[in-house]
Structures are given as C-alpha cells and as structure tokens.
Structure 1
Amino acid sequence: MATVHHWTGQEAHALRLALRMSVRGFAEHLGVAARTVAKWDQLLAATEPRPDTQAILDTALARADAAVHLRFETLLSEAGRPAAGPGRRVTASGPRAWEYESWTDDLDRVVVALSRQNFAFADNLLARWLNRFKPPELDDKGLYLLARSTALRGDLQRDQGAVLGPLSAQHSYAGARSVFAQLDIPRRIAQLDLSLAVVAEMSSKLDVAARHYESLAVDDRLSRRDRARARLWVGTALSKDGNHDYAARVMMAATREFEDLSEPDDWSVAHQKLALAHRGVGDLGAALHFIDIARSTGVTDSPMQRVRLDTAHGHILLSDPATRDDGLHVLDDAAKLATKFGLSHQLRSIESIRRTSEGAPGPRRR
C-alpha cells in the first residue's frame, strides 16, 4: 500500500482526484479551507502543506480503500512521480492492497480450476503470483497468500501425479507448511500435515501414512470434517496394506461422521473406498452395493472423481470372471478420461489393476 514520506501540492492534488472529490468536498473531508486545496491544485509540487496538514493527508490516504490507492499511484506515475532515486516521495512496501485483492480472487479461481482438473489454467494463475514476489517483500497477509498458493500448487502437482522430488507435491506442501508455521496458524499446519500423509500413502509408504492419519483423526487443530477425512484415509491405507476387515470398520465410522455432517461428496467417496475394502476380502456383493451408492450419491461430478469411481467399479467387475469383460470396458473408459485430463497417477493405478488381474483368480462371492 502506498505511503507518502513528504507531501507537496502534487500528491495532495492526486489524492483529491483519486477520491473523486471536488475542491470544496476535499477541503471538508480534510477539515481545511477550500482556498488551501485550490492552492495545492494550482502550484502542485511548488508548494507544501503545513506539518499538521501533512498528518491529516497521511490519515486520509491510510483510510482510503484499495481502488483509491490504485488511482492515486497511477496519477502520480503519470505525473512523473515518484521518480527513481533519493528524491522518491511515494513508496510501496511489497504488494499494494489491490494486488492482494487480485491475488485472493485468483486463488479462488485456482480452487475452481483444480476441481475441474483444468490444470493449465490453475498453473498459470499460480505462477503469476508465486513468481512475482519474494518472501522478504511480503507482510503477514502476503506470506499467508504465498503459503496458500504454494499449498494449492501442491494440490495441482499431487493431482497430476508428481508426488516426490524437487518439483513435487511433497516439496510444495513442506514449503507451505514452513510459512504457516512461521505465521503460527495451527489449523493450516495440521491441514498440510494431512496433505503430506496423503503423499506418503500415494508413495506406497502405507505404514507411515496410516500412523499420520491416526494421529490427525483426533487432532483438535483440524475441523471435524478434516478429522473424519483422516479417519477415512486410515482405512484407505489399511486396505491397501491388505488389512481389509479393520479398514472397512474404520471407514464405516468415517461414513457415519460424514452423514452426520451432511457432507454428500465425502459420504460418496467413503462408500467408494468401502466398496474397494469389501472387494479386497472377496465380498463382491457388498462391494457392488457400496459402489452403486457411491456412483449415485456424489454431488460433485469432476473428471477426477469420475475416473476414481469408474476405476473402483472396473476393479470390482474385473474381480469376477463373469463380469471381467465389463470391467475391462469400464477401465478403458476411465483410462481415456484420465489421459484427457492428465491424471497420470490414476492412469498408473488403472494399469496396475490390469496387470494384477491378468491370470489372477477372482475373489469368491458371498
């Protein structure tokens, strides 16, 4: 946000225009004589307000909104002020208020783009801000936006399958967590811990992921919904590690929590994961029951969720020799959609399911 180190008639005139006030209106706003304002307009940089009036102008500028600041800085720039070097009169520390507003709006757009797997657009918006400012230039609000941007880049990288390495979700999440720790925001720190546990699970570090999920499922820093998600993901890690019976019990507890919270999308995802846990123990009847619930109840119809649902459905169908061909067809459709939206992690999962199913006997029906 702009500050004026020493006011002249030039800066006072620019502030009047930025506020879109008449000479008389500006004089009343400041509590000075109209002829004083007229003098500033006439003499510009050749006159200087009195020290007490300088303080009044400081207050008027500080109380102005972001749009006024933008107009004020633009007017001074067009008038050739501030100039570079020691004579500079107007400075800005880091981003201006209007830039913070634009940054916040862009992050809201990133969230929507990620929900639709529009990765190129999301990446472009994030790069606009992450490449624009260095941390030392930012105050606490700027650092918060930087950390949030970095966390969203982690979500982007995770959804694209870039899990480990210097340009990965793990690296971005760790960076965002460090900034939130610097700002001392416990809830955001815990959310990043949850994201890092997801990365561990995706990297096949199932024991590590399960332990992290278990601790976060009872962590008061998280919201009730996030704690329920952690409980659900405990079940996911257990199921991937072959502990399907206990996984199903843990997932069912999370499912009841989502129902109590009126979270239909999370409730649908929980049924999808329950279906896979029952497939793991060979109960294909229960698996089909739960996947049908998941497919019919989800509110968000994003490409990512469609691929996940179809992958789970195909996996279950593939487990029964009688429905193997149907399962392959469903997996083919899921693979095409994953390819279209660049969902490489899901593609690898689909290929792994295909390879595992080749020549393997199907689980028994109950």
Structure 2
Amino acid sequence: MAAVIVWTGLEAKALRLACRKSVRDWAAILGMSVRAVTNWERLGAGTRPRPDTQAIFDTVLRQCDPEARMRFEALVAQQPGAPVLAEMQAGPRAWEYESWTEDIERAVLAAARQDFVFAGSLLERWRSRWPVTELDDRGLYLLARSTALVGDLRRDQGALLGPLSASASYAQARLLFTRLDIPRRTAQLDLSLAVVTEMSGQLGTAASRYSDLAGDVRLSARDRARAALWVGTALDKQGRHEQAIDITTTAIQVFENLGETEDWATGHQKLALAHRGARNLGEAVRLIEVARANTTGAAPMQDVRLTTAHGHILLSDHATAEEGTALLERAEAKAAQYGMTHQQRSIQGIRGRFQRLAPCLQ
C-alpha cells in the first residue's frame, strides 16, 4: 500500500475515479464547489490544493474500501512521475486488518446461507494479497481463519480431497495456527479434518480420531461433546447402532447441561438415525420430531440435513415410504439449489439403497 505525499489535480481526479463518483457527487462529498473540482482535474499536476483540502483527501483515502484503494493506486501508477506515492512498510495496514476482519464476519454469515460464491470471494481477495513472509502474527491469524473458512465452504460443496479441497485448506490452516501456538484452534482443525475423513467414507479412522478428540483438553467442552457425537455418527454408519445410541445419548446430555440448544437438537437428529438403524422406527420418528421442534430458523444446510434424516426414517417403513420419498426429493432439490453436492450424493445413496431393499420392507 502507499500514501500520498503531495496531492495534485492528478491524484484528486484518480481518487474520484477510484471511488466511481461523478464530478457533482464528488464535490458534494468533499464539501467543495463543482468548479473547484473541475479546475483541479483540468490543471492536473500543475495545481496543488490547499493544505486543509489535502487533509480532506487523506481522510477520504483512508476511508475507502480495499477495492477503491487498489483502483486509486493503479490509476496513479499509470501517471507520469508517480513519486507522489511513497512506499510504506510491507504487509497490511491497520485499516486493512479491520476490513479483513469485517469480511471474515461477512463470509461466516454468507456461508450460513450457503452463499458459497460470495463467501469465497470475500475470503480469497485477502488470502492471496500478501506473501506469508509479510504478515505479522495478526495477519497470520486472519489468514489462518480465512483458510479454515475456505475449508468449510469446500466441505459443504463436497470438495473433500485433492489440492483444492477442504482437507488441503484445513491442513494449511492447521499449520498456521500451530506456528502461532494456538492449541485450541489447532485442535479444532484436527476435528474438521476428522469430519472430512468420515465424509470420505473412512469410518473406522474417523471414529478413532473423534474418540481421541472427545477427551482432548485443548478443545472446549462443547467441541469435545461434538467430537463424541460424531463418534456415534461414525459408529452408526458402520452398523454399530447400539453403541452409537449410547454415545449419542451421553453427548446430548452434555449439550443440555451446557445450554447448547442447537447442538442438542442436532444430537436428537443423530440419535433418531441410530434408532432407525437399530430398527426402532417408532422411537426414531419421535426423536426426529423432537429435533424438528427444537430447530428454528434453520439455514439451508441444516434444513437439508434434517429433512434428509426425516425422509430416511420414513423411507424405512413401507407404510410411510411414500412420504419419505417426497421428503428426500424436497431435500435433494434444495441441496441442488445451493450447490451442496455431498448432500445430493448422500440422498441419492439413500434412495438407491431403499430401491434395492424395498422388497424386504413389504
């Protein structure tokens, strides 16, 4: 980034163009006359606004968003005699740290709505802006958080393995948090990597990793309970339903004690699926209704998962199979709408298994 040593008409015009304002609107923003703005731009390098006006330009430039600042620098760099710009220290400035933090928060909200494209654009424009060697600890922390969030986006989109995948992003973020010596964040990345392992079908390995993390003191009580819940999920997928029921029930009690309502409802969804696997269909239906009743304002991903679980349970009983099919179709359509390819594949797998087993349910 750069600072303006002396403002002339050239830099004044570049700033207006970078902010994408008309002459009239720009004059209103600066509190100047249209004639004054026109004169600066006409005279170019041959005029220097008064010191108080230069201070106004300094303030406006500081308040510009990152894209406008980059446009300004590009415009100035195209002008002859660019020495009006003085190189400053490498790495982000204070205002860039603030903007980066705000964009991370915006990306989290966008990801919750499954707006993957917008969330990704907010994160990627910062991740590649500076070499790692130019970042201090604060910059490395923001880079690590951004990279972990990119991992979440890729996981939700079903990109689990490979160079541009959730596992690659999580591994990169883990290295950064390890370098910063933040054990809790490192352990959270271990948990995220275990989730990818499970989603990739390596159920035994995932269950073992979850079990270790369920007792990992680096994690919060909530994260340890979530690890235990996912042990139950992995066991259920392996067909070890009774063990899954016991472990999931214990995790639900921890969530209740912690007052974690959302995790408590998710636990009931997982418990319902474990009972489905054990052929306790009446209990499975009761538990999925508890989960639905305690899930409010569900994001698209959460809604798809809950609807899929409900449909899966109903599909397991010939008397309710038609209703279950309808729910799965609805969940699949919503997954397709938001680009949740992993969820789509999961739903298609459920329907495929049902078609093969349908004669046994009659």
Relative to the length of structure 2, the TM-score reads 0.77
- Residue segments in structure 2 that go unaligned for 5+ positions in a row: 8-49, 52-57, 64-68
* Cross-structure match for 2:261: 264
Change (3 A) 1:236 1:363: farther
When Rg is computed on C-alpha atoms for both structures, the one with the higher figure is 1
Identical aligned residues as a percent: 54
Q: Matched residue pairs, number?
A: 303
CA RMSD of aligned residues (A): 2.9
Deviations 1:238-273 (A, max 9, x none): 101111101111001110111111111111110000
2:193 corresponds to 1:201: no
2:181 corresponds to 1:184: yes
Contact preservation (8 Å) 1:319, 1:362: no
CA distance in 1, matches of 2:82, 2:92: 18
Match of 2:350 among 326, 343, 353: 353
1:89-128 equivalence runs, <5 A: 91-128=88-125
* Cross-structure match for 2:29: none
CA distance in 2, matches of 1:351, 1:290: 23
Match of 1:289 among 286, 294, 298: 286
Structure 1 residue 124 displacement after superposition? 1.1
Deviations 1:97-152 (A, max 9, x none): 10010000000001111111111110111111112222111111101101100000
The 3-state SS of whatever aligns with 2:88 is strand
CA distance in 1, matches of 2:154, 2:111: 10
The 3-state SS of whatever aligns with 2:215 is coil
CA distance in 2, matches of 1:276, 1:180: 35
2:225 corresponds to 1:228: yes
2:212 corresponds to 1:215: yes
The letter of the residue matching 1:188 is R
2:315 corresponds to 1:318: yes
* Cross-structure match for 2:296: 299
Contact preservation (8 Å) 2:315, 2:324: yes
Contact preservation (8 Å) 2:76, 2:82: no
* Cross-structure match for 2:62: 70
Deviations 1:190-232 (A, max 9, x none): 0000000000000011111111111111111111111110010
Structure 1 residue 300 displacement after superposition? 4.2
Structure 1 residue 362 displacement after superposition? 8.2
CA distance in 1, matches of 2:86, 2:119: 38
Contact preservation (8 Å) 2:206, 2:234: yes
Structure 1 residue 297 displacement after superposition? 0.2
Change (3 A) 1:100 1:334: same
CA distance in 1, matches of 2:288, 2:274: 11
Structure 1 residue 2 displacement after superposition? 8.2
2:233 corresponds to 1:241: no
Change (3 A) 1:239 1:102: same
Structure 1 residue 296 displacement after superposition? 0.8
Relative to the length of structure 1, the TM-score reads 0.76
2:150 corresponds to 1:153: yes
Contact preservation (8 Å) 1:338, 1:347: yes
The letter of the residue matching 1:288 is V
CA distance in 1, matches of 2:292, 2:76: 62
